[in-house]
Chain A
Amino acid sequence: MKISFTQSGGFAGLVLSCRIDTAVLEVTERETVERLVIAAGIEESCECVSETARDAVTYEIVIERTTQVRVVFDEIRLPEEARPLVAYLKGHARPGGV
């Protein structure tokens, strides 16, 4: 499984990103990522952002398995169950991606 993550927007408009390939992770780390992805419940592509909010941080997650799923949330509409995954990915994200 490959995961591409891009954080953008927010007042500062910073763009941070990371790409994780579970095939190259150690077993415990791979299991952690797989557990977070399952818990996040991301099974279908969707875009879920507030129409009225301004300066909210936007998260884009692309998960490649046998099929590809792309979801976009902002911090206001981010589902509770996806927050641990986003927290993990934010911890690995670095400047860049523009």
Chain B
Amino acid sequence: MSGSHRHGGRQPLACIIPPFLLERMAEAGDAAIRRRAVVDLAQATAIQAVRDLVRSMPSLLATPSPGCCRERLVYDARGRDELPGRLVRREGDRRSKDPAVNEAYDHCGATYDFFRDVFDRNSLDDEGMSLISSVHAGESDGHGYQPMNNAFWNGSQMAYGDGDGVVFERFTRSLDVVAHELTHGVQSFTSNLVYRGESGALNEHFADVFGVLVRQWSQARAATTEPVPRSWLIGAELVVPAPTRRAVRDMQRPGTAFVEDPLLGTDPQPGHMRDRYRGSADRGGVHINSGIPNRAFVLAAEALDDQPWETAGRIWYDTMLEIPSRAGFEDAARITLRIARDDHGADAAKAVREAWKAVGITVPTAKKRQRPQTAGETA
């Protein structure tokens, strides 16, 4: 496919040397160094311009669907890292013989339906963009290809690996994993939280929240008799069973999804601010510190007497739409509390405030938002 590219656009050697260093090199006495620095500086400026443009206008990466409604496109990357690969199933096509294709298709459908039915949202961009998935994504080790042991959103589509079969099975197995990746897509058109530090952990947090809510909502919709026991695990179907692992994350009890596992170690997620990770790995702990707001969400949802996707889900969805891109945990707490109080009443506000307090974030009591006065009222 002529439009395909490796994992969505790898640029070998397009590293970003700090601009100050390039500028210093551009003034060097050695002509060769000077020439190279000037070229690098021009390339760095061009790359930064593209980054800024994409960050401010994510619609550039969106593929509109023909009818501006649900349109799922599933591709087969055939074990390589050139995305998207070969188109194998599109909206309305009959089921494939390949379970990964059907899982990607069905789980994308469940996620689209959730956002449409619960929040009246039309796809990731709210304008019906196509949902593009590549299954059987591979990764190169320089000599050949291995099944990718991961799933990611590359800015315009999802990619799912088949796992190594030792720790992880294929990543399409979990509905909450697929919904997590698609929620990253929703965020790229809304808050677009910067993917580093606390704002990055919030980005991961919202992806987990709506990942788990899509699964809970789908299970409730499918249940014909007894209600399904509520689970706050992320990626339970993804891990190869072992006594030392239950899932990838546990939103209710962060830090317990896997314990002393010989291949995974112990789940590093904290559930309280006093234990937050302060290192540089994982872009400042975006998948680690998300345990703190995750636990706050579960506490709020469990304190309310309706389904998690109703009051708590609505508060968190509205927060995800308006939260600034560089927000931290305290900003998230303040916004959820304001929305809870203004739109859902005192009981909801109490549940949200106490949930954040339990994870070490205290927010002053929110004042009810004043309705703007009309000209007649001020006269």
A60–B17 Cα gap in the complex (Å)? 15
Closest beta carbon of chain A to B19's beta carbon, Å: 12
The reply to whether A15 and B265 contact each other, CB–CB distance below 8 Å, is yes
Beta-carbon nearest neighbor of B290 in chain A: A13
The reply to whether B268 and A54 contact each other, CB–CB distance below 8 Å, is no
A54: chain B residues at CB < 8 Å are 152-153, 181, 184, 195, 203, 207
A49–B200 Cα gap in the complex (Å)? 14
A16–B268 Cα gap in the complex (Å)? 12
How many B residues have CB within 8 A of the partner chain?
60
Q: Which of A15, A45, A47, A80 contacts B142 (CB 8 A)?
A: A80
B115 at the interface (CB under 8 A from A): no
A78–B7 Cα gap in the complex (Å)? 10
B288: chain A residues at CB < 8 Å are 13, 15, 98
The reply to whether B12 and A51 contact each other, CB–CB distance below 8 Å, is no
B263 at the interface (CB under 8 A from A): yes
Encoded as 1 (CB less than 8 Å from any A CB) or 0, chain B from 149 to 162 comes to 11111111000000
Given A53-B155, A84-B142, A95–B264 Cβ distance below 8 Å? Answer: yes
A16–B153 Cα gap in the complex (Å)? 22
Given A11-B152, A12-B287, A98-B279, A47–B16 Cβ distance below 8 Å? Answer: yes
Tell me which residues from 10 to 28 in chain A have a Cβ below 8 Å from any Cβ of chain B.
10-16
The reply to whether A52 and B54 contact each other, CB–CB distance below 8 Å, is yes
Beta-carbon nearest neighbor of B151 in chain A: A11
A83–B150 Cα gap in the complex (Å)? 16
Beta-carbon nearest neighbor of A79 in chain B: B12
B168: chain A residues at CB < 8 Å are 12
The reply to whether A83 and B154 contact each other, CB–CB distance below 8 Å, is no
A98–B10 Cα gap in the complex (Å)? 28
B11 at the interface (CB under 8 A from A): yes
A55–B287 Cα gap in the complex (Å)? 9
Tell me which residues from 225 to 271 in chain B have a Cβ below 8 Å from any Cβ of chain A.
235, 248-249, 261-266, 268-269
The reply to whether A11 and B54 contact each other, CB–CB distance below 8 Å, is no
Tell me which residues from 201 to 234 in chain B have a Cβ below 8 Å from any Cβ of chain A.
203-204, 207
A71–B14 Cα gap in the complex (Å)? 12
B249: chain A residues at CB < 8 Å are 13
The reply to whether A84 and B281 contact each other, CB–CB distance below 8 Å, is no
A94–B261 Cα gap in the complex (Å)? 11
The reply to whether A51 and B152 contact each other, CB–CB distance below 8 Å, is no
B261: chain A residues at CB < 8 Å are 95
B188 at the interface (CB under 8 A from A): yes
Tell me which residues from 269 to 297 in chain B have a Cβ below 8 Å from any Cβ of chain A.
269, 277, 279-283, 286-288
Tell me which residues from 40 to 60 in chain B have a Cβ below 8 Å from any Cβ of chain A.
51, 54-55, 58
B139: chain A residues at CB < 8 Å are 75
Beta-carbon nearest neighbor of A52 in chain B: B155
Given A8-B282, A13-B282, A83-B140, A52–B10 Cβ distance below 8 Å? Answer: no
The reply to whether B55 and A76 contact each other, CB–CB distance below 8 Å, is no
25 A-B pairs within 8 Å (CB atoms) are namely A8-B283, A11-B177, A13-B269, A13-B286, A15-B282, A15-B288, A41-B13, A48-B15, A53-B152, A55-B153, A55-B181, A57-B150, A73-B15, A75-B139, A76-B9, A79-B10, A79-B15, A80-B12, A81-B12, A83-B140, A84-B141, A87-B142, A97-B281, A98-B281, A98-B288
17 new A-B contacts, CB < 8 A, other than A9-B282, A15-B281, A52-B55, are A8-B282, A9-B283, A10-B149, A10-B150, A11-B150, A12-B287, A16-B265, A46-B17, A52-B58, A52-B155, A55-B151, A55-B180, A56-B154, A73-B15, A75-B152, A76-B152, A79-B15
**7 nearest A-B residue pairs (beta carbon):** A13-B287, A95-B265, A52-B155, A46-B15, A84-B142, A83-B142, A87-B141
